[in-house]
Structure 1
Amino acid sequence: MRDLRRWTGDLGLWAVLAAPVAYARLTPPHERWIVPLLGGSLLLLAVAVVVGRRLPAVAVLLVLGGSVVDGNFVFALLAFSYLAGWRGERATPAAALYAAVAGVGTVLHLAVLDTGMATWFLLSCVLLGAGVLPWLVGRYRRQHQALTLAGWEHAEAVEREQQGAAERIRLRERARIAQDMHDSLGHELSLIALRAAALEVAGDLDDRHRVAAGELRASVAAATERLHRIIGVLREADAPATTRPVGESVADLVDGAREAGMAVRTRLCPEAADLPEPAGQLAHRVVREALTNAARYAPGAPVTVTLDADADADDDGIRVRVVNAPPPAGPLPGPASHGSGLLALTEGVRLVGGALHAGPTDDGGFAVSARLPRTAGFAATPDEPTAAGGPADVGGCAVSARPPRPAGIVATPDGPTVVGGPTGPAVVRPGRPALAARQRMHAARRDVRRSLLAALGAPPAVALLLCLVYYPVATADAVLDASSFAQMRIGAPRAELSGLPRRQVEPPPDEPAPAPGTRCEYYTDGNFPLAQPTWRLCFADGRLTSKGRTTT
């Protein structure tokens, strides 16, 4: 199917380019060798179309050769020059071709054929407008397409990096939870085994119960060993601290933040106190992470911490909200957060059946909202909207708002974690693949700028150069000023005419032939840039017989 589309496109291109060539050949009056000339022109176009797929510069050279015989090949020159810029991977072949054609053409017209500066200037403009300019436009399109592809590659690489980073954080959080379970369950199982062993050696226990106690002890020991083998695989050497400080509650955490200088207001409901594990541990971690973010990204902004019963939940759930106002001094400068803390919290809350959402508020602050189950059977609502705005007052909650102490930051057991702050959602820093894709995108963007600059600036620059070269050469020693022309009298000998330049210019193409025995000379008045001959002086027997302007 792809080859069919390619051949169909090539056939259509050949038909469009062959139409003006065939029309010119078939229009009367017919030339003597019309059939071989027409057949050769159409065959040359067909070869250029086929070759242009792999060697676009060669196709340009072929149609340039055809333009020597038939001027209608200029349409093919436009098309193949554009295709050479679009298809060519390198600019060197086409640039060298145009430079060589310009150099050879200049020598051929001015030194060998002596066609004159006007013809050379016209052909140079054709080469510039029908060859170089379309090639620059095609080159620009190619570079723009490369920029688009590089942009897509960069976006895909960044997305892969973000997915990989998020997956690593989720796995790390799973390992942390597994390690917590290992430590807590292992301890409990060890206690059960110890009590079973005590029963086994008790003196007042009959043999039947003693055997049962021994079997219980052996089963617990086997279960403990199996737990060590299974969950131990998920451990990480650099895993963070697994539990909060012993005995520290959310209120204690808030008091520590106040002592560090933060303005924290709390709404703690009685039904949210003394939460069982793991809800209490997760609530502590959510508040600690949110306070750390507020201290890092919104220093000086007031913070509101709310723990209450989740009225929207069917089961006995807990709602935790931490909202900070916008930073008084505006967003802080610095690198963007990698968001690992919030991602780990989200995974941890999800694994126990809850849901966590974080994002900026309408007033420019930042809110973290979590719904936690008291039991593992809690069903979270996955599509809860992102938290926005401050928490509402809840009846029966103890509201506390003490003034902050000066200076200081919040110190957490885990140490400061750079996560998403009030200036915007958390992002993941790109890794090496994303950076490589970004570098390719920057290089493609630079090439596009250069191609656009060349496409817009090169033709005027070359045209100006042609004019600056053409005008001095075309008018050198060939300018007859108007005052000298006016003083020339009919009948005066040519030797006595003053102000005659030493060099003549070519007559216009449509200038009528002089009368028999009369010789006409042509001079320019120096008009820029074409410098066409404007003065005509005709002599017969060495005397001036007529003078006037040419019809150009």
Structure 2
Amino acid sequence: MRGLRWPDAVLWVVLAVPLVPGAIGEPVELTAGLVLLTAAVLLFRRFPVRTLCALVAAAAVPALALVPTVTNPPWVWPFLAAGVFGFRAGRWAGDPVLVPLAAVLLGGLPVSVLADGTARGGFGVLFGLYDWFLLVLIVLAAVLCPWLLGRYLRLRAEVAAAGLERAALLERARIARDMHDSLGHEWGLIALRAAALEVSPDLPERHRAAAGELRAGVAAATERLQEIIGVLGPRDERTDVAALVERAAAAGMDVEWTPAEPSPEAVERAVHRIVREGLTNAAKHAPGAPVSVRVERLYASTTVTVVNGPAAGTPGPAGGGNGLAALAEHARLLGGTLTAGPGDGGFALVAELPHDARPANVGRPARRSLVRAARTPLLAGTAIAVLAMALYAVVGAGNSLDPEVFEKIQLGTPRADVEPRLPPFQILGDPERMLSDPPKGADCRYHWSREQTDEQLFFRLCFAADRLVHKEAVPRGAISGEAR
């Protein structure tokens, strides 16, 4: 398979293994599955969210349209593939997935209602709604749970990388302090003694000149020490954003610059770093696009915004996103926030940095982010589960037929005379797949027996030409499971 990297080829084989046994004897399913798997593996790195949504849609079609059912498991393989790619999307892609996935699931609602309504008449609307509820719960469990796990692992790795960077900076600062405290003090004493010798009247002129040269050498070494301390200390000591913008404009970028009054030194360094990253990203991913850099100083905080328009040239290759992750961590350590994402047709980088806030707690940030990401699907899943149980309870309370009423209904009775004697709802399930085929062209209804026994678990009544043409009491042994 040309275009596949070896990990992708391994993934293709791993997912093809469970596909083949389930599709034996079904060449259409086998071909469709292999085509879908190949396309997903080839396109995922470029379109991760779209690929995931396509797999979820492929899982929803047989579940809602081809075999609308709540008791017969739909084609399982697409859900397995969607779960695997859901994990990959959370692990490697930072793109939002909840909104596109919700749009795909909402698009399945009318499909489910239409498919079941066509097959089961008016009751099919409720049946299709219940089918859709269950599909949403399956997707939440089979796709979003792996996505959340992948997202957690990605965020933990990013925070760990940011923590290593912060530890390295702290170590560099410690070395700088040690050098300043130890060498600076000793060299200061040497310079002091050399200065005393330089003005001593007891020494010959040439010795005093040598002492002066020694003092000058110590002063030069002290300056060099200060330079080394600057290198070992935090790397973002530069705060001149205007010079940064001027260099970008001189290089050919279309930059609009709105400065502000100076902020505290730590904030100025962070602003410099954010603007530098924003300009670098714009030059790499949106060449030729206009860029707006705006810094606003308020009473207690400074806001920096870097926005670029759509690319006028060919964007460079996508990076790993570590720069933005490190920026977000740096802003958080200052007690601020940083957001990055699409804006004004291009890309926007916005940071708010407080002037006097204490650094945020760095413990368990990945878990907190996971909780925030899981909050919406968890609430949605809870609401769907409550609605499904409510529908289940309402239908279950009105889908049982009295055996005596069933016995009194005669074959050939007009449908208009039979339906008023039947319960308002039917069984939420597919008992027809467990029974013999009904009369050709007949429309059948299924109701639980109000008094269930081994001989009569539920009833089937079939109509054709607006008359009752078939009725039977189905024993418990005719089915392998029960549906409600």
When the two structures are superposed, what TM-score results if normalisation uses the length of structure 2?
Answer: 0.53
User: What is the DSSP-based 3-state SS (H/G/I as helix, E as strand, rest coil) of the residue aligned with 2:5?
Assistant: helix
Aligned match of 2:385: 467
Aligned match of 1:203: none
1:134-533 map, 5 Å: 134-187=146-199, 189-192=200-203, 217-231=204-218, 233=220, 438=333, 447-453=365-371, 461-474=379-392, 476=394, 479-480=397-398, 485=402, 488=405, 490-491=407-408, 500-505=422-427, 507-513=430-436, 521-523=445-447
User: What is the DSSP-based 3-state SS (H/G/I as helix, E as strand, rest coil) of the residue aligned with 1:190?
Assistant: coil
User: What is the DSSP-based 3-state SS (H/G/I as helix, E as strand, rest coil) of the residue aligned with 1:191?
Assistant: coil
Give CA deviations for 1:295-322 in whole Å, capped at 9, x if unaligned.
xxxxxxxxxxxxxxxxxxxxxxxxxxxx
Q: Distance in 1 between matches of 2:383 and 2:448?
A: 21
- What amino acid maps onto 1:126 in structure 2? I
User: What is the DSSP-based 3-state SS (H/G/I as helix, E as strand, rest coil) of the residue aligned with 2:459?
Assistant: strand
- What amino acid maps onto 1:502 in structure 2? P
- What amino acid maps onto 1:471 in structure 2? M
Q: For 2:49, which of 53, 57, 65 is the aligned residue?
A: 57
Aligned match of 2:103: 100
Deviation at residue 110 of structure 1 after TM alignment = 1.3
Q: Distance in 2 between matches of 1:24 and 1:496?
A: 42
Determine if the alignment matches structure 1 residue 12 to structure 2 residue 23: no
User: What is the DSSP-based 3-state SS (H/G/I as helix, E as strand, rest coil) of the residue aligned with 1:510?
Assistant: helix
User: What is the DSSP-based 3-state SS (H/G/I as helix, E as strand, rest coil) of the residue aligned with 2:397?
Assistant: coil
Q: Distance in 2 between matches of 1:128 and 1:76?
A: 14
Give CA deviations for 1:176-218 in whole Å, capped at 9, x if unaligned.
212331244235x4223xxxxxxxxxxxxxxxxxxxxxxxx44
Farther off after superposition, 124-133 or 515-524: 515-524
1:20-31 map, 5 Å: 20-25=18-23, 27=24, 30-31=25-26
Deviation at residue 515 of structure 1 after TM alignment = 6.9
1:39-78 map, 5 Å: 39-67=31-59, 68=61, 71-78=76-83
Deviation at residue 547 of structure 1 after TM alignment = 5.5
Aligned 8 A contact 1:491 1:544 in 2 = no
Aligned 8 A contact 2:48 2:93 in 1 = yes
Deviation at residue 98 of structure 1 after TM alignment = 1.3
Q: Distance in 2 between matches of 1:39 and 1:516?
A: 34
Aligned match of 1:89: 94
Deviation at residue 233 of structure 1 after TM alignment = 4.8
Aligned 8 A contact 1:147 1:445 in 2 = no
Q: Distance in 2 between matches of 1:535 and 1:520?
A: 13
Flag the 1:15–1:86 CA change in 2: closer, same or farther, 3 A.
Answer: same
Deviation at residue 157 of structure 1 after TM alignment = 1.1
Q: Distance in 1 between matches of 2:188 and 2:139?
A: 72
Aligned match of 2:138: 126
Flag the 1:447–1:538 CA change in 2: closer, same or farther, 3 A.
Answer: same
Aligned 8 A contact 2:87 2:146 in 1 = yes
- What amino acid maps onto 2:446 in structure 1? Y
Q: Distance in 1 between matches of 2:139 and 2:376?
A: 13
Flag the 1:95–1:447 CA change in 2: closer, same or farther, 3 A.
Answer: farther
Aligned match of 2:343: none
User: What is the DSSP-based 3-state SS (H/G/I as helix, E as strand, rest coil) of the residue aligned with 2:424?
Assistant: coil
Determine if the alignment matches structure 1 residue 110 to structure 2 residue 28: no
Q: Distance in 2 between matches of 1:227 and 1:435?
A: 43
- What amino acid maps onto 2:92 in structure 1? R
Determine if the alignment matches structure 1 residue 79 to structure 2 residue 87: no
- What amino acid maps onto 1:17 in structure 2? L
Aligned match of 1:268: none
Aligned 8 A contact 1:523 1:536 in 2 = yes
- What amino acid maps onto 1:97 in structure 2? P
Give CA deviations for 1:225-246 in whole Å, capped at 9, x if unaligned.
434544455679xxxxxxxxxx
Farther off after superposition, 470-479 or 454-463: 454-463
Farther off after superposition, 50-59 or 135-144: 50-59
Aligned 8 A contact 1:52 1:59 in 2 = yes
Flag the 1:72–1:138 CA change in 2: closer, same or farther, 3 A.
Answer: same
User: What is the DSSP-based 3-state SS (H/G/I as helix, E as strand, rest coil) of the residue aligned with 2:398?
Assistant: coil
- What amino acid maps onto 1:18 in structure 2? A
User: What is the DSSP-based 3-state SS (H/G/I as helix, E as strand, rest coil) of the residue aligned with 2:201?
Assistant: helix
Structure 2: gaps of 5 or more residues: 63-74, 118-123, 224-328, 338-358, 451-456
Aligned 8 A contact 2:89 2:150 in 1 = yes
Aligned 8 A contact 1:492 1:544 in 2 = no
Aligned 8 A contact 1:522 1:536 in 2 = yes
Flag the 1:221–1:75 CA change in 2: closer, same or farther, 3 A.
Answer: closer
Q: Distance in 1 between matches of 2:437 and 2:16?
A: 41
Deviation at residue 543 of structure 1 after TM alignment = 12
- What amino acid maps onto 1:467 in structure 2? A
1:529-544 map, 5 Å: 535-536=458-459, 538=461
Query: Highest Rg: 1 or 2?
Result: 1
User: What is the DSSP-based 3-state SS (H/G/I as helix, E as strand, rest coil) of the residue aligned with 2:8?
Assistant: helix
Q: Distance in 2 between matches of 1:145 and 1:171?
A: 38
Identity of aligned residues (%): 21
Give CA deviations for 1:109-155 in whole Å, capped at 9, x if unaligned.
01455363453244223322221111111111111111211221121
- What amino acid maps onto 1:504 in structure 2? Q
Give CA deviations for 1:283-340 in whole Å, capped at 9, x if unaligned.
xxxxxxxxxxxxxxxxxxxxxxxxxxxxxxxxxxxxxxxxxxxxxxxxxxxxxxxxxx
Aligned 8 A contact 2:446 2:460 in 1 = yes
Q: Distance in 2 between matches of 1:39 and 1:474?
A: 37
Q: Distance in 2 between matches of 1:475 and 1:84?
A: 37
User: What is the DSSP-based 3-state SS (H/G/I as helix, E as strand, rest coil) of the residue aligned with 2:446?
Assistant: strand
Aligned pairs, how many?
A: 311
Deviation at residue 471 of structure 1 after TM alignment = 3.3
Aligned 8 A contact 1:121 1:470 in 2 = yes
Aligned 8 A contact 1:478 1:524 in 2 = no
Farther off after superposition, 156-165 or 445-454: 445-454
